[in-house]
Amino acid sequence: MGTIYIDDKAVEFEPGQNVLDAARKAGIDTPYFCYHPALGAAGSCRICAMETVPQKEGEKPRTVMTCSIPAQDGQQFRFKSPKAKQIQKAVVEFYMTNHPNDCPVCDEGGDCHLQDTTISVGHAYRRYDGQKRTMPDQFLGPLVYQTMNRCVTCYRCVRFYQDYALGDDFGAMGSSNHVLFRRTEDGAFDSPFSGNLVSVCPTGVFTDKVYRRKYSRTWMLEKAPSICSGCSVGCNIEVGGREGTLRRVQPNNEESKVNPYFICDRGRYGSHGTESHSRPKYVSEQGKVVKTSPLDALKIALVRAEGHVGILGSVEEDLTTNLALKAIAKEMNAPFSPFISPQQEALTKTAVAANHNAPSISDIEQSDAVFVVGELTEHAPMLDLAVRQVIKAKKDVYVLHATPSHLVTALNKLQRGHVKALAPSQWQDCLTQINTAVHDGAVEDLWIKDVANALKQAEKPVIIGVAELLNTADISLLNTITESLAPAAKMAIALPSAGSVNAALTAQENSCAELMTQIESDKIKTLVVVGSDPLNTNNPHWHALHDKLDQLIVIDKVLTKTAHLSDTLLPLAAWPERDGMTINYEGRLQRFSKAFARKTATIDAHSMIETLMKSPETIEQWLTELAPTLPQAGDDGIIIEKDKLKCTELPLEQKTNPPAIQSTQPQVALSKWFGEGYVADHAPEIRSLKPGSSASINPKLAASLNLSNGDQLMIICGDQKLVRPAVISSQVADLTVALNQADMRLLQADIASPLCLERTSELFIDADKKEEIKNIIGSASVIMMGEA
């Protein structure tokens, strides 16, 4: 702590802050472009100039750039001196000589840092009447739109993309007055964080291309602080809606402990999935729209069921919804479960229970050794961004994975040999060995020794696992490893979905099994499904259960497979359209508030309680038990006490370990894409970037099958067969076939299920391969096209 003086006003600063930082925190409206709280200063824009006040006799006032001067006790500056003002004015005038005055047609207009600065500095009239510089724009895919002429060369975009997010397909090209910020080739960005260019750019060079299609000026938006429903990290977002539709999503709170400045593309663009044309908007019965209010329809349907009701909540929904459903179920004496399978229930509960000592994002960023198990980017992108800060700080990061991951690419660039690709069935063995090595046991594998040493030597080690890819034994192994490290060691398990903790806390013991048994034994004839998609799993069980039901009521915000098969389909309010509360992976209770109302009536937790329950107090009571003071929307949330986060009962049923498979047999590994999600799958823009179905294998396996990139590969799992083009990637573990979730469903395969692989014969024969094929077939004549 210390004090500096700006225009004779005392300004407190923290050690390590620069003068601009301190001035900004103290509420002095200093202009700046190249400086960004997360990216630091480049010293390139020259607008944050202030004048020093002479401290000694004979000293003259100097002009300094405050962003590159560390604050020291007793320094004095003049921000409002004529000299400083003149510099600021001249710099803005210089930028405005080239900047097009296109604010009326610019998406950034009204929300523009350059516009604000130009006005606050007082530059109103253009003196320069020469030609402006014109730059070529580049097509950057469906998410980000570029207008290069507006650039003020602050380099924030490149500093974010290359230095902060460790991307390498976007850069600053050229020099002096001809700097272009672009990719080497046209097309969409590789990075899962590219949408942040929109937030980082102080002017309108990068704008949100999805928002652009349904644009509204910022002051016309109905905005509210909300929480992202994309994954279990629970990022703070600001949602802007207008006329009953979602328009824009952006990071909200600079002071947030979860995500101060950035969000991932799944959060920013995936939320638009609720705007898809197929979204249920009206009550429909047997596929026909009925003109009633959704709540009335629900009430009538429940009355019709005569007490034979079961309720299926969702791991995608918030705490309030699951609590409301639980309370309603209790009042109706109906079974309730938020999980679609006992396995999912067991795994989620174990993962939530293991997260009792989870690091926050800033804990991860400040850690000095990180061990990641699984493809983190593809499951919880913002945790990956935090790990990238550790990589950047040249602290050890180790990754154990089975399929290609963005984090592996980023890590391979800066830390060689820190990555290990292992087939999923070998993970448990590897973790056991790491555990042995951490406890000073003898281990042969050098990589395992390195991991154990790095974790042991670190003061604040962090272990991050991905719940969807681990079984309960793996999670408890990670827990044991964490417990034997330094006292500050922490472990986080990235949970499968945004509401995993909510679901784990509300579910009774074996709730899903109970629900399923009751349907099977014909006790339940009506099932209410809220925000869940049970008929879209690789579990054929649910299809049998569906046949037993008289009535399937689905309440959802996107049109899922289950919604297609429903008898009654009712619209559910998405998170931005209602108030609610949720808990993220670290046990942080967060509140979100309603940004806008849809034009047609939707169902939400509160209205359900009001219409369906006689005594609605139960939820409030439960919440006050959970946390004495409840958070407000837009704040940091409240960390729930650790013992309250423990699930009601620990699962009795362990997730079955993968069947023992022969060491030479290939196996399935789940390969996700970072933009996938329950809602995001319905957002057309981000979905258009999703890679097609393929089977990724590593070069060694490809060679043994005599496959080259793009060849058709027949995958056989039990009775199921599937043909997919092979993609050869060195990031896939040996004897592993990386498949996406949909393909795994088709194959009815689980992670680490054994496979048989075959090369399929080619449908078309290349003319140049004629000779080769003749040799293979032997004397039989091959008649090619065009050959007599």
Partner 1 sequence: MLTDQERAHLEEHIAHYPEKRAGAIYCLYFMQDKYGYITKPSLNLVSELTDLSTTQLDELITFYTLLRRRPVGRNIMRVCDSISCHTRGAKKVLEAAENATGKALGEIANDGSVTVLPSICLGLCDRAPAALINDDRVEGELTPERMRMILTELAEEEIKLSEKPDYQNIISMLTPQDAPAKTNEEVM
Rank residues 180 and 488 by Cβ distance to partner 1 and give the closer one: 180
What is the spatial distance between Cα 87 and Cα 224, in angstroms, rounded to a whole number? Answer: 38
What is the spatial distance between Cα 253 and Cα 495, in angstroms, rounded to a whole number? Answer: 23
Q: Cβ of residue 414: shortest distance to partner 1, in angstroms? A: 9
Rank residues 632 and 709 by Cβ distance to partner 1 and give the closer one: 709
Q: Cβ of residue 184: shortest distance to partner 1, in angstroms? A: 5
Q: Cβ of residue 185: shortest distance to partner 1, in angstroms? A: 10
Rank residues 409 and 538 by Cβ distance to partner 1 and give the closer one: 409
Q: Cβ of residue 171: shortest distance to partner 1, in angstroms? A: 4
DSSP-assigned beta bridge partners for residue 181:
172
CB environment 158-195: b (16+ within 10 A), e (fewer): bbbbbebbbbeebebeeeeeebbbbbeeeebbebbbbb
Q: Cβ of residue 177: shortest distance to partner 1, in angstroms? A: 13
Rank residues 170 and 447 by Cβ distance to partner 1 and give the closer one: 170
What is the spatial distance between Cα 336 and Cα 654, in angstroms, rounded to a whole number? Answer: 21
Q: Cβ of residue 156: shortest distance to partner 1, in angstroms? A: 16
Q: Cβ of residue 170: shortest distance to partner 1, in angstroms? A: 7
CB environment 710-729: b (16+ within 10 A), e (fewer): ebbbebebeeeebebebbbb
Length of the chain: 788
CA quadruple 574, 579, 583, 588: dihedral sign: positive
Question: Residue 726 — φ and ψ, nearest 5°?
Answer: -80, 135
Rank residues 14 and 168 by Cβ distance to partner 1 and give the closer one: 168
Rank residues 174 and 710 by Cβ distance to partner 1 and give the closer one: 174
Element (H, E) at 514: helix 511-520
- DSSP assignments along 174-217, one per residue: S-GGG-EEE-SSSS--SSTTTTHHHHH-SSSSEEEHHHHHT---
Rank residues 184 and 688 by Cβ distance to partner 1 and give the closer one: 184
Question: Residue 182 — φ and ψ, nearest 5°?
Answer: -160, 170
What is the spatial distance between Cα 385 and Cα 192, in angstroms, rounded to a whole number? Answer: 9
Rank residues 392 and 523 by Cβ distance to partner 1 and give the closer one: 392
Rank residues 178 and 291 by Cβ distance to partner 1 and give the closer one: 178
Q: Cβ of residue 159: shortest distance to partner 1, in angstroms? A: 13
Question: Residue 469 — φ and ψ, nearest 5°?
Answer: -100, -5
Q: Cβ of residue 172: shortest distance to partner 1, in angstroms? A: 6
Rank residues 167 and 675 by Cβ distance to partner 1 and give the closer one: 167
Q: Cβ of residue 169: shortest distance to partner 1, in angstroms? A: 6
Binding site for partner 1 (CB under 8 A): 162, 168-175, 180, 183-184, 413
- Give residues with Cβ within 8 angstroms of 170, minimum separation 6: 157, 158, 161, 162, 181, 182, 183, 189, 191, 194
Q: Cβ of residue 189: shortest distance to partner 1, in angstroms? A: 11
Rank residues 183 and 248 by Cβ distance to partner 1 and give the closer one: 183
Q: Cβ of residue 174: shortest distance to partner 1, in angstroms? A: 5
- For residue 284, the SS3 value is strand
What is the spatial distance between Cα 474 and Cα 464, in angstroms, rounded to a whole number? Answer: 12
Antiparallel, parallel or unpaired: β 336-337 and 288-290: unpaired
Token pair 């500056």 is found at: 77
Rank residues 299 and 774 by Cβ distance to partner 1 and give the closer one: 774
Rank residues 97 and 162 by Cβ distance to partner 1 and give the closer one: 162
Q: Cβ of residue 67: shortest distance to partner 1, in angstroms? A: 23
Q: Cβ of residue 412: shortest distance to partner 1, in angstroms? A: 10
Rank residues 291 and 416 by Cβ distance to partner 1 and give the closer one: 416
What is the spatial distance between Cα 336 and Cα 543, in angstroms, rounded to a whole number? Answer: 19
Token pair 């949970």 is found at: 495
Rank residues 167 and 499 by Cβ distance to partner 1 and give the closer one: 167
Q: Cβ of residue 25: shortest distance to partner 1, in angstroms? A: 34
385, HSE (Cβ side, Cα atoms, 13 Å): 28
Rank residues 162 and 741 by Cβ distance to partner 1 and give the closer one: 162
Q: Cβ of residue 193: shortest distance to partner 1, in angstroms? A: 16
- Give residues with Cβ within 8 angstroms of 439, minimum separation 6: 484
- DSSP assignments along 415-479, one per residue: STT-EEE--GGGHHHHHHHHHHHHTT-----HHHHHHHHHHHH-SSEEEEEEGGG--HHHHHHHH
- For residue 146, the SS3 value is strand
Label residue 304 left, alpha or beta by phi (over 0 means left) and psi (-120 to 50 means alpha): alpha
- Give residues with Cβ within 8 angstroms of 515, minimum separation 6: 310, 312, 335, 336, 337, 524
CB environment 558-572: b (16+ within 10 A), e (fewer): bbbebbeebbbbbbb
Tokens of 292: 């009633």
Burial of 137 (0-12, 13-18, 19+ CB in 10 A): middle
Q: Cβ of residue 167: shortest distance to partner 1, in angstroms? A: 9
Question: Residue 248 — φ and ψ, nearest 5°?
Answer: -145, 145
CA quadruple 103, 106, 107, 108: dihedral sign: negative
Assess contact for 224 and 594: CB atoms under 8 A. yes
- For residue 155, the SS3 value is coil
Rank residues 410 and 739 by Cβ distance to partner 1 and give the closer one: 410
What is the spatial distance between Cα 441 and Cα 445, in angstroms, rounded to a whole number? Answer: 12
Rank residues 182 and 557 by Cβ distance to partner 1 and give the closer one: 182
Assess contact for 572 and 602: CB atoms under 8 A. yes
Q: Cβ of residue 650: shortest distance to partner 1, in angstroms? A: 47
